[in-house]
Amino acid sequence: MRNARGASLDETPPALAEPAAAEARRFFRPAGRRGAGSGWRVVGGGWESQAAGSYAQRRDFPYWEIEYILGGRGLAELAGRREALGAGAVYAVGPEMRRGRRSDVRRPLRRHYLWLDGAGAEAALRAAGLVEGKVRLVDAPGEAREVFEWILREGARRGPAAEATVSHLAKVLLLKLAAAREAGAAALAAGPGGEEAADASARASFERCRELVDAEAARLKSTAEIAAAAGLRSETVCRLFKRFLDTTPGDYLRGRRVRLAAERLREPGARVKEVAAALGFADAFHFSRVFRAETGQSPRAWRAGGGGERGGVAAGAAGAAQATGAARAGSSER
């Protein structure tokens, strides 16, 4: 199976692959020790764009699954119950639960997923606030999305180091989801008024802006465009990014576009000029200058593998530090 750009996908068995996916990037690593005792391990994961109006149904699946909705609309059917799905929805499903998912015709679902194996998987998910078959919204959807993307990148690699990195990132994801649950509970306990409610509202506005940048980085060109898409004033967007991420909207947008470019440059047959044009850079020279400033390498050197796995891990670590800084900034405001 291949993706829309013709790049080879994973070795996920056809019986486990999502039949309703129109486009996908996946990894599957069943080999290795099954989580013993109270342990668990990641056996697979991926990103999928569902076909418009598609319906997928499963039962007797061998693994626990975390499903995180990136965008679009749809319905989940979980043990006979129906729940609406939209951006930021997350839920866990056990091996024996009957489940189904219907994607909207006009706004098909896009999702990340992760498969866990081992006797300790259910307890780990419960500790993160993921009760089997119950859909909830993530308080910081941008952070969850970034961790899923890091897991997907590392999952595509092979070797003990990559497997250890995937395991650590999965634990980071569960910690992020647990923190988001606690933040949501605190906001509800605070009631409709007061400083806590104002802080929760500001955080929600910030995450909406960041989700827009993460999803539309190739289209958006300026802070004004981000503000217009989010329905806010440019000054408000600038204050939100400074408060929760200690950066500017323009710097965050530029970093996101460079990360997307770095991923596309590693795809077979990628050309610097085409990648630059696809991501909205004025020309290849401007793109090269921005890329070098962000990564310390030229696009051609990166494409040739000059950064190696160490460079990729360093980039992920930098992003993780940025996300952690955002979480701390949000906590310090409460």
CATH code for the structural domain at 1-137: 2.60.120.10
Instruction: Give residue 92's pLDDT.
Output: 94
Which pair of tokens denotes residue 164? 């250890």
pLDDT reported for residue 31 = 64
| pLDDT given for residue 317 in this prediction | 34
pLDDT value at position 79? 82
Contact by Cβ (8 Å): 30, 38: no
Q: What is the pairing mode between strands 55-58 and 41-50?
A: unpaired
pLDDT at 38: 65
SS (H, E, C) the chain: CECCCCCECCCCCCCCCCCCEEEEEEEECCCCCCCCCCCCEEEEEEEEEECCCCEEEECCCCCEEEEEEEECCEEEEECCEEEEECCCEEEEECCCCCEEEEECCCCCCEEEEEEEECCCHHHHHHHCCCCECCCEECCCHHHHHHHHHHHHHHHCCCCHHHHHHHHHHHHHHHHHHHHHHHHHHHHHHHCCCCHHHHHHHHHHHHHHHHHHHHHHCCCCCCHHHHHHHHCCCHHHHHHHHHHHHCCCHHHHHHHHHHHHHHHHHCCCCCCHHHHHHHCCCCCHHHHHHHHHHHHCCCHHHHHCCCCHHHHHHHHHHHHHHHHHHHHHHHHHCC
Same fold, 1-137 and 187-332: no
What is the reported pLDDT for 149?
A: 92
CA angle (294 as vertex; 277, 70 as ends), nearest 5 = 65
CA-wise closest residue to 151 among 127, 131, 172: 172
With 0-12 / 13-18 / 19 or more C-beta atoms within 10 angstroms meaning exposed / middle / buried, residue 103 is buried
Question: Taking a C-beta distance cutoff of 8 angstroms, is the pair 110, 50 a contact?
Answer: yes
Per-residue confidence (pLDDT) for residue 26, from 0 to 100: 93
Q: Residue 331's pLDDT is what?
A: 39
pTM for the whole structure: 0.58
pLDDT value of residue 147: 92
Q: What is the CATH number of domain 187-332?
A: 1.10.10.60
CA distance linking residue 58 with residue 283, whole number of Å: 47
> What pLDDT, on the 0 to 100 scale, is given for residue 28?
92
| Consecutive 10-residue averages of pLDDT for the chain (334 residues) | 40 80 89 63 94 88 92 86 84 91 89 94 91 80 85 90 93 87 48 50 82 87 89 90 84 89 86 88 88 87 61 38 40 37
* pLDDT score at 132: 85
Report the alpha-carbon distance of residue 259 to residue 299 in Å, rounded. Answer: 11
Give me the residue spans of the domains in the chain.
Answer: 1-137, 187-332
How far is the CA of 182 from the CAs of 160, 201, 205, 326, in angstroms? 33, 16, 19, 16
